[in-house]
Structure 1
Amino acid sequence: MPEWPLLRALRGGRGTRSFSLTARRLHYLPWGLAKMKSLEGLNLRDNRLCRLPPAMEALSRLKILNLGNNIFEEVPEQLICLRSLQKLHLFGNKITRISPSIFGGLQNLVLLNLNNNKLCCLPPEIHRLENLECLSLNNNQLQRIPRELCCLQKLRELHLSHNSLMALPEEIGHLTKLKILSLSRNQIEELPEGLCKMVGLRVLDLAGNNIQIFPAGVEELELVELYCEGNPLLQKHPVSAIQEEDILTLKEITARFIIAQLKSSLSLQRAVKQNTEAQNMLSQQRECAQCGCGFLNMWLECVQFVDVKQRMKTSRNLHLLPVKMLLCSYKCFNLHDDELFGIAVP
């Protein structure tokens, strides 16, 4: 492959800030590239590169690097020295793993594009990318995401479509600045309650999963767009059912009494704080959607159909969103309004 573009750039002076060698069937980088120390943008997409030379470490001012559509099988370790890097494109490669050490040198990264690779997992050390604003991992083989990813406090876009995710960590609620969350075409069956704490979320794409019902509180999110076609969402089809008696265990009766007393008794609050086991148990308490009382392990799972069509852009034909509601007893169920339904067990 002729190196004339690089030679012309070198003759023109080493102050070149942007340089492109796209679609040139490169198997290795040409000589002299490392001498362009003023380089801030380098585009090497659509080649046949599988590794980077050690000399790449000299490009300390590089801010944008595009290595998309090459044949890398792992993220090049030379990137750890590119501490000025802000945007890194590695889409369309054959990457199966990421060395945890890479993240230690990319703390200025704001965009990471790893779409269309073969990643099965992400190392927990991804939390070191503390300035990351956009992470795109569409079309990989991810089965889970580490809870450490939820420490990325500046993250605004998270794209995880076309993977093999079955669940999300409860800690995802820590991503309060996230505006776009794309999870279409995965295998997610249940959404964590933490999702409802993502106060900045505006676009949520859940199309093509296995979701039947949404967690309580999702209707309070200020979503602008919601996509969930291709999910087996619960439908409003009333059926008759036999109502059982409320028979609570002694543990549940005791827990409910303690939960109620904690609201007014300072001495009881101090006692619970000194008992780790009791504190852990009571941390799992829920609240009745009807009476507001707390309970522990025994409840009625109901569904409320929330009209979302008027206030956000949604999937075609989606008008009523099934939202989970928990009630503490049949007594509260008999007090509910006409928009709350019990869930029939097939």
Structure 2
Amino acid sequence: MLAHNAITALPQGVACMTALQRLDLRSNRLQALPAALGQVSSLQELDASENLLEALPESLGRLTSLRTLLLDKNRLRGVPAEVLRGCSSLARLSLHGNPLTIEQLRAADGFREFNARRCARCDKQIDMQVFNPSGGFDEGADQVQWQSWAPSGQR
């Protein structure tokens, strides 16, 4: 776990960790994720919430095992189509607290494919009588644009 460590960058050597299934990068100072992260073929969950990310590398779209991508409280204004389309197992995407509204996410190239997978997963849970503990159907982004969580001096 690398959460809460004031990390500013990940080394390119992360590509060698092909058996890694979960990567927790929450609450650091990452401004970017390395393109090499797209080579971590076993990655199923990536939590990069509460960082300073402004964009995602398109190479993340090669992560076909990725099921969960948590990116809350960053500076993201979009998600590359390669990620929405290429991550064929992705069913949970959380972008709350970014300057990206749900309308913008819905209009993004590749959202239709992602949403079909997400809805199919939720339909399966409902059919099996498994419900979301939050009591709602979360689409993954806020209704309105939200101010960055970072202090004003760091924006």
* TM-score, length-scaled by structure 2: 0.73
Query: Which residue pairs with 1:188 in the alignment?
Result: 76
Change (3 A) 1:191 1:231: farther
**2:111 maps to 1:218:** yes
Change (3 A) 1:231 1:181: farther
Aligned-pair identity (%): 31
The equivalent position to 1:229 in structure 2, one of 107, 125, 142, is 142
What does 1:1-346 align with in structure 2 at a 5 Å threshold? 113-196=1-84, 197-212=86-101, 213-214=104-105, 215-221=108-114, 222-223=117-118, 224=122, 226-229=139-142, 231-232=144-145
Name the structure with the higher helix share. Answer: 2
CA distance in 2, matches of 1:231, 1:138: 23
Distance 1:147 1:162, change over 3 A: same
- Asked whether the equivalents of residues 7 and 29 of structure 2 are also in contact (C-alpha less than 8 Å), the reply is yes
CA distance in 2, matches of 1:193, 1:187: 18
5+ residue gaps, structure 1: 1-112, 234-346
Structure with the larger strand share: 1
Q: Tell me the distance in 1 between the aligned counterparts of 2:144 and 2:20.
A: 31
Q: Deviations over 1:247-299 (max 9, x none)?
A: xxxxxxxxxxxxxxxxxxxxxxxxxxxxxxxxxxxxxxxxxxxxxxxxxxxxx
CA contact (8 A) 1:183 1:206 kept: yes
Q: Note the alpha carbon deviations across 1:202-230, whole angstroms, 9 max, x for none.
A: 11110000124232221222114532126
2: distance between equivalents of 1:230 and 1:141?
Answer: 26
- Structure 1 pair 117–218 and aligned structure 2 pair: CA distance change class (3 A): same
Give TM-score scaled by structure 1 length. 0.34
SS at 2:13's partner residue?
Answer: helix
Counterpart of 1:227 in 2: which secondary structure?
coil
Within 2, Cα distance between the matches of 1:171 and 1:144? Answer: 13
Contact kept in structure 2, 1:189 and 1:210, CA below 8 Å: yes
Distance 1:186 1:153 in 2: 24
Inter-partner Cα distance in structure 1 for 2:139 and 2:47: 15
CA offsets per residue over residues 288-315 of structure 1, 9 Å max, x none?
xxxxxxxxxxxxxxxxxxxxxxxxxxxx
> What is the alpha-carbon distance in structure 2 between the residues aligned to residue 130 and residue 231 of structure 1?
37
Distance (Å, rounded) in 1 between the aligned partners of 2:144 and 2:78: 11
Deviation at 1:190, TM superposition (A): 2.1
Report SS of the residue matched to 1:194: helix
Please give the alpha-carbon distance, in whole angstroms, between the structure 2 residues aligned to 1:231 and 1:182.
Answer: 19
Which letter does structure 2 place at the counterpart of 1:227?
A: G
Q: Which consecutive residues of structure 2, in runs of 5 or more, have no partner in the other structure?
A: 123-137, 147-155
Letter of the structure 2 residue corresponding to residue 203 of structure 1: R
Name the SS of the counterpart of 1:226 in structure 2.
coil
Query: Take 2:143 and 2:15, find their aligned partners in 1: how far apart are those partners?
Result: 32
Contact map agreement 1:175 1:198 (CA 8 A) in 2: yes
2:94 maps to amino acid: D
What RMSD, in angstroms, separates the aligned Cα atoms of the two structures?
Answer: 1.6
Query: How many residues are treated as equivalent by the alignment?
Result: 121
Deviation at 1:232, TM superposition (A): 2.4
Deviations 1:106-131 (A, max 9, x none): xxxxxxx1111110000111111110
